[in-house]
Structure 1
């Protein structure tokens, strides 16, 4: 692993508390890595200080955005998105990647009218897999953090905001501190934990974010399988409202 300069290591250490209990869906580790551990693994062998600095800034910014926008987020497997950040290119490309991911976190999370509770659907690939299955011929080669999919999420955010503004039946205006749940199963923290741990055990997570390569898969009906798993666990709440 690369030993980061002290200044960069310290900046990563400062965001570590934002990860809370650092729960992981990985079958071979009890906790997600600390930001410093993750950065050292991803950048192993590099001595390009400009890239190391850009990566560290980007990873810290993404972690802060996740913690601010999804304070109830449970699973903190960031190996794959961190690798995508590193692989995006030089400092300028990493800055663009970071800015887009941060904007999406803010755009879908707590500070937005959308108010989704977790980043799990984004970072574990449920959103991406559903998108690919709609046009697999043209989309199968597009990865979960590639620009075309991020483009789609930005457009989708605008569509959802328009529905909320119209007080749509499925995407209505929320009241008070309510979180949005358009799914047919409970997404309270305890249920979210049980459901996704079960999905991980059954190998039904589209993107294994705990792996550097992510092993992205779209060619299973992941949304339906998640709904069925929730039903088996007794987490169904009837037809989505």
Structure 2
């Protein structure tokens, strides 16, 4: 029993001696720089290059030397707004060109139409006129729209109304003639009233232009209720005509008179 314990004690002491006192070759490997470097890489982890697409920029304003100017806020919003304004300007210009083209086309179409001589042909001419052009045609055909013409239209309606064969076409024709008769009568009345107003407005404008004291004459005409919309419309027409003719002084003079008239005008 005692012999067995001595053998075990001897083995343990030999084992401790081997663990504490390593061989000289192993000690040299630990002391080598390459071994220490490899050991550190194993502990920390080997360096790997960043993968494509994973790089993130966290500070876009990094400028330690102060070379770059200060960033401008809302740059994208401002650029979007400028682009929208540019697109709106282009669209507006396109619309203006289209309106001018339509206006020129209407003018050419008007000039291509010839006013007939007889009452019957004039009636058919007005029946084929579009509603948007009726005001222009009434003004152009006003000398022909006499009592004789309206009597002819009335007789035409009467003959169709008392016709033997009252077909759908006849009823439609009667309706068209009655509508045209009413439109022409109202148009002639409005045109005559406008013409009278313009003639009176020209006389009143001439009275203002020849007066030495413009303010005094305007006060006098305001007391007589002679400052109204037709006079204002005539001034606007003269201003536009002077501007188109590049007569800046005349346009400026008319604009000043208009501004004075507006102060006393009775609307």
TM-score (norm 1): 0.21
Which structure: larger Rg?
2
Higher relative contact order (CA 8 A, sep 6+): 1
Structure that is richer in helix per residue = 2
